[in-house]
Structure 1
């Protein structure tokens, strides 16, 4: 059973009296998690796969917008003439790989939703063993491999390590919560340790937020910071809609739809990578019918829908647009064949 991302993870406790009891009880487990992560990273010798690897990772559990950033970087490199292949663990998929994703053959249940979505635009490999997947991509002709997630995976030599940070700090939310490591908070590892291995941070902002929070930028200044905005590829359809999303932070999808002008009659949140069975989808359809509304969801959720339902639900794709592409180019320009 998948669990929803706890929203309290992203609240900062200004004093011990305000700390949620759950967070306090889980803190000892977070120490164990952090120690195990640090030991694994320190004790692994990275493998050179034969092509430079750009890792687009994050420091937290849950959604930060990595996949749109991966797509934007891959498209930028492809436009410059690079043969770009993408690499993913294939979370939620049954295939261990390495296997190249074929969107005409594979399903999200086999390769994961994000790889299936990206494979419509780029060669995508899924592999539980990330080193083996990168080697397969290099042998298939990749000039550069862009890896979706894996900042805490030490198995690959990375030519460039980027961490994506959710830049939306409204409504009392802070991207790192109170700084506590999973399961007491959203951090995959302590902030300082994660930033120390990053070449740069990418702060991803919603379309209606012009600038990143100054405190957040100061927090990240241990490394260069790039900003990008997440915006809709197309506007939401006209008329009332019932939205739903099974992503890391579904409440942000609801907020983004409203900001984009969607007449949102209702919204249902599901855990990240949730599988939609016929009963759940019928409940959503009945809810939409009650409002005289259509159904709308994220592109990532849409690829997980059974084929018969895709015609009944509107996908709402988004894209990341870098504010300063010259700064991005400066980071990627130094990439060359691995030694």
Structure 2
């Protein structure tokens, strides 16, 4: 049932039917109130410096936009980066140092899938999850990091930072609950808007391909994968951040006769202990425009001085 409502909600926000469009219009008064409250919250905020450069990679909408590979690519350009994020889907609370400069300190259940992916992909990066991002930034500064990369930080208006904003096309331009926007791009807020195929390009490598693959994934808006998919015999979608059990994955293999499960790197971190499963992996990488890289480096260097 939960999977049904998640899929319904994604269609409502990004590819609405006629009935869903009518519902969206009926909910517009609530959207105006929501957007007004978000604007007031923005106006009342006062950006604070934490003694360390902070670069945010975010978007304005609910659902996925591909922030993770961009953060990974940016982190590679610094010696002592820290990745700070909320840790959606984790089964823990408070601040957790997932990885110090060399060692992963907890499991994926405590860290969440995105944080563990960062920890595994970036040898020199510290990774911290916390509902209170300011606390995690202060911790990164105390541990000697030279820059904080904030995953999904546009709305954290009280933090002094460089804002990179990924543009995500949507036919529904309204704030919640009529549309997908958590808040608008306020005219007085300085941001760098990043356009796909202009400021960054995505590419995918397929590892361990087999003859009969079933796509199994738990990411937001999984249809984003379609342009990169090889031929698959079926697609099975779970809600974002879902923790797979070995039993449910084995049932998918048995039902479909698949020779492997095709997953993303984000899904894979939650399956690494399931040794009996044959896994194929879609590894997504990003090529960033040199102008973006230079802009970020210039900001970080100026903030240090």
Q: TM-score range by the shorter chain?
A: 0.7 to 0.9
Three-state SS of the structure 2 residue aligned to 1:31 is helix
1:283 is aligned, of 247, 251, 261, to: 251
Q: Say if 1:319 and 1:306 are closer, same or farther in 2 by CA, change over 3 A.
A: closer
Q: Say if 1:110 and 1:32 are closer, same or farther in 2 by CA, change over 3 A.
A: farther
Q: Show structure 1 runs of 5+ residues with no match.
A: 167-174, 206-225
2:158 is aligned, of 137, 155, 158, to: 155
Partner residue, 2:10? 6
Partner residue, 2:89? 92
CA distance in 1, matches of 2:190, 2:250: 44
Say whether 1:201 aligns with 2:193.
yes
Partner residue, 1:253? 225
CA distances 1:77-108 after superposition (whole Å, capped 9, x unpaired): 22xxx321111111111333432214754233
Partner residue, 1:22? 23
CA distance in 2, matches of 1:283, 1:196: 52
Partner residue, 1:101? 98
Say whether 1:55 aligns with 2:23.
no
Residue 51 (structure 1) shift: 0.4
Matches within 5 A, 1:208-227: 227=199
1:325 is aligned, of 281, 287, 290, to: 290
Residue 233 (structure 1) shift: 3.8
CA distance in 1, matches of 2:293, 2:276: 35
Q: Say if 1:98 and 1:61 are closer, same or farther in 2 by CA, change over 3 A.
A: same
Partner residue, 2:202? 230
CA distances 1:273-314 after superposition (whole Å, capped 9, x unpaired): 12223443233222342xx43111111112123722585323
Q: Say if 1:337 and 1:95 are closer, same or farther in 2 by CA, change over 3 A.
A: farther
Say whether 1:268 aligns with 2:236.
yes
Q: Is the 8 A contact 1:251 1:269 kept in 2?
A: no
Residue 72 (structure 1) shift: 1.0
TM-score, structure 1 normalization: 0.78
Three-state SS of the structure 1 residue aligned to 2:235 is strand
CA distance in 2, matches of 1:315, 1:53: 32
CA distance in 2, matches of 1:250, 1:276: 16
Number of residue pairs the alignment of both structures matches: 294
Q: Say if 1:310 and 1:110 are closer, same or farther in 2 by CA, change over 3 A.
A: farther
Q: Say if 1:142 and 1:35 are closer, same or farther in 2 by CA, change over 3 A.
A: same
CA distances 1:127-157 after superposition (whole Å, capped 9, x unpaired): 1110110010011111111011010122311
CA distance in 2, matches of 1:280, 1:311: 11
Partner residue, 2:170? 176
TM-score, structure 2 normalization: 0.86
